[in-house]
Amino acid sequence: MLEKLTRRLRRSGLQSPSTDLYIEGIKCKFRLARHCIDVLSQIEHSNESMIKILSESSTSTINIDTDHQVLFYCDSFWNLLRSSIDILAQLINELRSLGINERQVYFDNVKNRIRSNEPNSPLQISMRNLERSRVFRDLNEYRRCVTHRRPVFVEKAEQQITYSTTPGTPGYSTYVETSDKLSILDRYLCNNPWDINPTPDFKRPVLAFNNNLLQKIEKRMITIIKRIP
């Protein structure tokens, strides 16, 4: 979508070094946010002891255990994703000639200026829809907490999964049914990150919840991008 926007700006004569910079900034933030999701996925699907071994064998002077790796990539993910929205606001400020100083641009004041300048326009409605969405509120709450207060509480829950380790084929003399157990460690975000004693929300597994944030925020940003020029 950003590539299409660049082509539209070029055809309309609106492309500038600033618009190129902001578009590249959004692309970069999303690439890094997706990298965080990829790492969280690797952690979730990897053996805990193997992650510990890899961490301890690192050449870094500081070894970070798995729990802190999860906190680090969640923190990074929320800040990167929220930052992409503010860079989108920079692009809107530039293309709509709102006149807000670049150092003072953020999503809220650009949204308010658009509401004042062009109420009920497709752009104003799409920005309002993003602001009122549950995913935007969730993203803001987690990002504000990790930025201004503390790491978000993550609950761990271990479950045992039994799986077959039987070689051969049933019905043959060499077939002896055997099985083994595998420990799976799931991690869940808290419901309200601002609570002094946060409560885990078992409907918010770390990887699935963050992946859902990424997809839904991206979808709403694409709608806004389509309505900018």
Provide DSSP, 77-111: HHHHHHHHHHHHHHHHHHHTT----GGG--HHHHH
The DSSP bridge partners found for residue 189 are 154
Q: Is residue 188 very low, low, confident or very high in pLDDT (cuts 50, 70, 90)? A: very high
Q: Name which of 143, 116, 142, 111 is nearest 128 in CA terms.
A: 111
- pLDDT at position 63: 65
Q: Are 143 and 82 in contact (CB under 8 A)?
A: yes
Terminal Cα-to-Cα distance of the chain (whole angstroms): 13
- pLDDT at position 226: 94
pTM over 0.75: yes
Section 135-141 average pLDDT: 97
The total number of structural domains that make up the chain:
1
Q: Are 198 and 153 in contact (CB under 8 A)?
A: yes
Question: CB 133: neighbour CB atoms within 10 A?
Answer: 15
Q: Is residue 53 very low, low, confident or very high in pLDDT (cuts 50, 70, 90)? A: very low
Tell me the per-residue pLDDT of 61-83, one tens digit each, with 9 for 90 and over: 456 789 999 999 999 999 999 99
Whether pLDDT at 189 is above 90: yes
Whether pLDDT at 57 is above 60: no
Q: Which residues contact 113 (CB under 8 A, 6 or more apart)?
A: 93, 98, 100
- Give the DSSP H/E element, type plus range, for residue 154: strand 154-164
Dihedral angle sign, alpha carbons of residues 25, 28, 34, 37? negative
- pLDDT at position 1: 82
Range of the domain at 152: 2-226
Section 102-115 average pLDDT: 97
